[in-house]
Amino acid sequence: MLNNAEGLDSVDQNRKTVLQRALRVDWLGQTAASLFWVTSVIVYGISGPGDWLQLGAASAWLLANIAALVWEESG
């Protein structure tokens, strides 16, 4: 539990660094690409096993980007 100003400052700093990492061009670009990929699979429809694999790959990429953003600080 955080009871002092120093602890609160570190939480605020951590949030700031997560936001800073989220606004980097590399993270934004990869996340946008994975979202576009997911969207294209949904828009064009899922008509076979290959479409499910495409959706799974795009979703895994998106989750990996989010995980990297969240856990980069703790690693």
Q: Give the C-alpha separation, 9 to 14, whole Å.
A: 9
Residue tagged 């590399």 (tokens): 26
Contact between 21 and 72 (Cβ < 8 Å): yes
Contact between 62 and 35 (Cβ < 8 Å): yes
Contact between 73 and 20 (Cβ < 8 Å): no
6 pLDDT band, cuts 50/70/90, is: low
How high is the pLDDT of residue 59? 96
11 pLDDT band, cuts 50/70/90, is: low
Q: What is the mean pLDDT of residues 2-24?
A: 68
Residue 9: pLDDT above 70? no
pTM > 0.75:
no
